[in-house]
Amino acid sequence: GVVNLIKKGDKVIIPVNGEFSSRLSQMLEWAGASVIKLETQPGENASFETVKEAFDNNKDVKAFYCVWNETSTGTMINYLDRVKDLTSRNDSYYVVDGVSIVGGEELKVDKWGIDIAMTGSQKAFAAPPGISPIVVNERTKKYMIENPPHTMYFNLPRYFKYYEESKHTPFTPALPLLYAYREALNMILEEGLDNRIKRHRTCSDALYSGLSAIGLTPFAKDDSRSTVVIALNYLEGLEDKTFRNTLAQKFRVLVAGGFGNLKGKVFRIGCMGEVQRYHVMRTISSIASTLDLMGYNVDAKAGLKIAEEKLKDL
């Protein structure tokens, strides 16, 4: 996504608000890009107006990159459908890193004018880790072939060539993972993509509502909340390690801690892939019980009641 498109001196706009958008921004810099970072506090997204302003001020921009779902903070960009109005001004490229969310939220690659989108197999696709699906549209493919990168391994023109000549990959692929990935895609088709997206939205809504009802507060701002990664602020004085270890050992419910300087301040719940009603109920129940065991006074029933109400849609 980076080495196959970006050349030394290319101007790139990217919103940065967490670990993964920072990494992507770093990769763009290493590739020689002149990077315009739209930085916001973790938990917030650069607004569409900020993005528009950056395009207004940089008419020679080569590409817009974004991390759709910032896994480190539980935020999600919700204006992907409108970026085309900006990139179409000078036919700049529109690149979406959808690693933790593709398969769990709606992504209309062609309709929204996205040139490159990539993801990971092990998140909302619910396949084993080890495969990084990527889609590239025709005009971008043409550009890449005409301007091949100086890399041996992630050299997309080489992949295009081998695929067209013999439906092969240029190097021996991790075959067992491809079989598992195909099965995961079949399972998505069996469920139906619309049903799957609805399931993710309903489950995350139930988690946000249910956990709020027991006294926890979402970390991300209202308009930026992810439907696949739920980040929550720790209650005053609640110790990260004890909380997560209790939850893991007594209830076998695994939640992740915060990244970098959010360590100890937030915890994160994965709400992707196979997530179902019972995961939501069990998670709220176990979190409430853990808080109870740790001496906090929580109203588990209120949380479960509102979650169950929300889950009726499934």
DSSP string for 241-304: HHHHHHHHHHH----EE--GGGTTTEEEEE--TT--HHHHHHHHHHHHHHHHHTT----HHHHH
**Residue 151 touches a second copy, criterion: CB under 8 A:** yes
Q: Quick one: 71 or 285, whose CB is closer to a second copy?
A: 71
In the block, tokens 């979190």 appear at 287
DSSP string for 180-195: HHHHHHHHHHHH-HHH
Q: How many residues bind a second copy (CB under 8 A)?
A: 19
| Chain residues 162-181 in contact with a second copy, contact rule CB under 8 A | 172-177, 180
Minimum Å distance from CB 216 to a second copy? 27
**Residue 104 touches a second copy, criterion: CB under 8 A:** no
**Residue 30 touches a second copy, criterion: CB under 8 A:** yes
Q: Indicate the pairing of strand 63-67 with strand 11-16.
A: parallel
Q: What is the DSSP letter of 111?
A: T
Q: Considering only residues 11, 48, 52, 130, which one is a binding residue for a second copy as defined by CB under 8 A?
A: 130
Q: Residues 6 or more apart from 150 whose CB is under 8 A from it?
A: none
**Residue 244 touches a second copy, criterion: CB under 8 A:** no
**Residue 157 touches a second copy, criterion: CB under 8 A:** no
Tokens of 156: 């997309």
Please name which of 115, 82, 151 lies closest in space to residue 12, comparing C-alpha atoms. 115
Determine the interface stretch with a second copy among 125-133, 216-224, 244-252, 253-261 (rule: CB under 8 A): 125-133
Minimum Å distance from CB 196 to a second copy? 21
For residue 81, give the 3-state DSSP assignment. helix
Q: Are the C-beta atoms of 18 and 40 separated by less than 8 Å?
A: no
**Residue 261 touches a second copy, criterion: CB under 8 A:** no
**Residue 260 touches a second copy, criterion: CB under 8 A:** no
Q: Considering only residues 122, 283, 286, 290, which one is a binding residue for a second copy as defined by CB under 8 A?
A: 122
**Residue 273 touches a second copy, criterion: CB under 8 A:** no
Q: How many CA atoms lie within 13 A of 46 on its CB side?
A: 24
**Residue 254 touches a second copy, criterion: CB under 8 A:** no
Rounded to whole angstroms, how far apart are CA atoms 100 and 195?
Answer: 18
Q: Quick one: 22 or 290, whose CB is closer to a second copy?
A: 22
Q: Considering only residues 8, 111, 150, 167, which one is a binding residue for a second copy as defined by CB under 8 A?
A: 150
Binding site for a second copy (CB under 8 A): 23, 26-27, 30, 120, 122, 128-130, 150-152, 172-177, 180
